[in-house]
Amino acid sequence: MSARGLSARAVAALAGIGVGTVQVIQHGNRWPDTRAVARLENALDTPLWPAHDQDTSTRPGD
């Protein structure tokens, strides 16, 4: 966020979630729920969840 020059308040407004939610996630005090992750990914135009863009059609051992 700071690399883009955005405050927690600005990110919260873009994502449509509370600034308190952004702050506790940012500081590692709470894991985000899937709704918050989806909204943050859309607002920041960046995948935030690991393996978000990987092909899951095949698994090791299949």
Say how far apart CA 49 and CA 62 lie, in whole Å: 24
Q: How many CA atoms lie within 13 A of 62 on its CB side?
A: 5
Q: Which two tokens stand for residue 45?
A: 């135009």
Q: What is the pLDDT of residue 40?
A: 95
Confidence class of residue 59 from pLDDT cuts 50, 70 and 90? low
Closest by CA position to 44, among listed 54, 57, 32: 32
Contact 8, 20 (CB under 8 A): no
Domain positions in the chain: 2-44
Residue 19 or 5, more confident: 19
Distance between CA atoms of residues 10 and 39, nearest Å: 13
Residues 21-44 have pLDDT tens digits of 999 999 999 889 999 999 999 999
